[in-house]
């Protein structure tokens, strides 16, 4: 048995080793193998560009988490890959998302802060960003007496999915809801579909903070296929909606650090560059050779034609953002594919009507 048998341990180990590798002081250990793994690499796995140190956040502790203050009584917790937030109030703690990878470290982080500040460590409310299990799967750890708040569509999707780890919200809203809990103010808004139909904006007007999950992952390009996007135009529009709020700090739900307005703008530009690249590919990549070669095998022709289009769109974007956003060479082409399909199918660009 090794730690790699557990996906959770594996993930936090990987997150930790990524951080360790980024610390130049590691060289002091005298193990060159740690900093030049490629020299001894016999795995046959592909190499990717080094990630910029700016993509990484603070080191996690021995239990695998980091907790930090955002502003005043608002805090964030990360395991290096996932993020949650919590607000300590005079009446108890309001938790925002409960990723299962952080799991029981959520309460440990809350205990640590509550002990230091002499406030209650009792979680009284959990606010859900959206229904996905990777952000809510530790919700049931907090028992039945907690009030859960989420969008009406989150409730509908969770009733459908029937996962005991994610109790459905007790309190729901459709468009906007302002929460007043323990003297604190939290503004929830559903501004249309983006990553999922139910993903909401969580604004902390008195803490200069916006939580918007699975749209911009600060310092990193989106995860595979535009964060497994469910609505191209909605996700492309989301950063502008986020920037329309006043805030300084962004909780993106992922990776090891908080985001800034500059991070949101860089993400917005990265997506805009991919949109431009895809539009250019629609006119510049000639489909003829693909259809000539594959004949009656239409799917083979379409697959290779679209692969050439996404490569045409992604290559200059990968060059521009390598060293700016982590993993540009890992996931940009898969995001380009989703944007290509959105531009074709949602916007109708590139569609030709038969004469």
Give CA–CA dist 221/52, Å, rounded: 12
Tell me the closest approach of the beta carbon of residue 117 to Zn ion, in angstroms. Answer: 31
* Pick 108 or 132: Cβ nearer Zn ion: 132
Between 22 and 228, name the residue whose CB sits nearer to Zn ion: 228
Residue with Cβ nearer Zn ion (82 or 270): 82
Strands, E assignment, 219-301: 249-251
3-state secondary structure of 224: helix
81 vs 97: CA distance, rounded Å: 14
Rg (alpha carbons) of the chain, rounded to whole number: 22
132, 155, 166, 177: which one contacts Zn ion (CB under 5 A)?
132
Per-residue mark of binding to Zn ion, 53-82 (x: CB under 5 A) = ------------------------------
Residue span 315-344 as binding mask against Zn ion, x where in contact by CB under 5 A, dash where not: ------------------------------
* Closest CB 137 distance from Zn ion, rounded Å: 12
What does DSSP assign to residue 30?
T
Q: How many chain residues touch Zn ion (CB under 5 A)?
A: 2
| Nearest-approach distance from CB 193 to Zn ion, in angstroms | 13
**How far is Cα 137 from Cα 107, in angstroms, rounded to an integer?**
14
CA dist 347 and 339 (Å) reads 11
Residue 293, helix vs strand vs coil: helix
- Return the residues of window 211-240 that contact Zn ion according to CB under 5 A: 214
CB of 190 to Zn ion, least distance (A): 15
- 78/121 with CB nearer Zn ion: 78
From the list 40-48, 91-99, 132-140, 289-297, the region that binds Zn ion by CB under 5 A is 132-140
List C-alpha distances in Å: 200 to 128, 174, 273, 308, 349.
8, 10, 25, 35, 29
Note whether 151 binds Zn ion by CB under 5 A: no
Nearer to Zn ion, 214 or 263 (CB): 214
Separation CA 315–CA 336 (nearest Å): 10
| Measured distance CA(318)–CA(291) in Å, rounded | 28
Provide the binding-site residues for Zn ion, judged by CB under 5 A. 132, 214
């Amino acid at each position: 048995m090794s730690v790699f048998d557990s996906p959770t341990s594996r993930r936090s180990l990987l997150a930790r080793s990524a951080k360790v590798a980024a610390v130049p002081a590691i060289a002091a250990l005298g193990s060159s193998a740690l900093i030049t793994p490629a020299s001894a690499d016999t795995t046959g796995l592909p190499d990717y560009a080094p990630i910029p140190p700016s993509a990484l956040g603070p080191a996690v502790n021995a239990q695998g988490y980091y907790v930090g203050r955002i502003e005043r009584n608002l805090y964030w917790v990360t395991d290096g890959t996932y993020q949650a937030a919590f607000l300590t109030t005079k009446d108890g703690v309001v938790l925002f998302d409960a990723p299962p990878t952080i799991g029981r470290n959520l309460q440990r982080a809350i205990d640590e802060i509550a002990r230091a500040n002499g406030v209650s460590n009792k979680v009284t409310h959990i606010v859900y960003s959206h229904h996905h299990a990777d952000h809510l799967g530790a919700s049931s750890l907090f028992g039945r007496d907690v009030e859960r708040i989420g969008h009406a569509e989150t409730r509908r999707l969770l009733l459908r999915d029937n996962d005991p780890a994610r109790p459905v919200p007790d309190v729901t809203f459709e468009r906007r809801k302002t929460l007043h809990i323990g003297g604190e103010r939290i503004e929830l808004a559903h501004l249309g579909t983006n990553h999922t139909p139910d993903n909401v904006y969580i604004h902390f007007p008195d803490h200069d903070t916006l939580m918007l999950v699975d749209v911009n992952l600060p310092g990193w390009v989106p995860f595979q296929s535009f964060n497994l996007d469910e609505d191209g135009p909605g996700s492309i529009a989301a950063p502008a909606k986020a920037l329309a709020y006043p805030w300084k700090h962004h909780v993106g739900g992922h990776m090891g650090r908080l985001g800034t307005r500059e991070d949101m703008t860089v993400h917005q530009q990265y997506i805009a560059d991919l949109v431009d690249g895809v539009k250019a590919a629609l006119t510049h990549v000639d489909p003829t050779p693909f259809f000539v070669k594959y004949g009656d095998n239409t799917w083979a022709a379409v697959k290779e034609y679209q692969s050439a289009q996404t490569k045409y769109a992604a290559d200059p974007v990968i060059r521009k953002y390598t060293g700016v956003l982590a993993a540009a060479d890992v996931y940009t082409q898969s995001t380009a594919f989703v944007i290509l399909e959105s531009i074709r199918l949602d916007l109708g660009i590139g569609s030709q009507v038969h004469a």
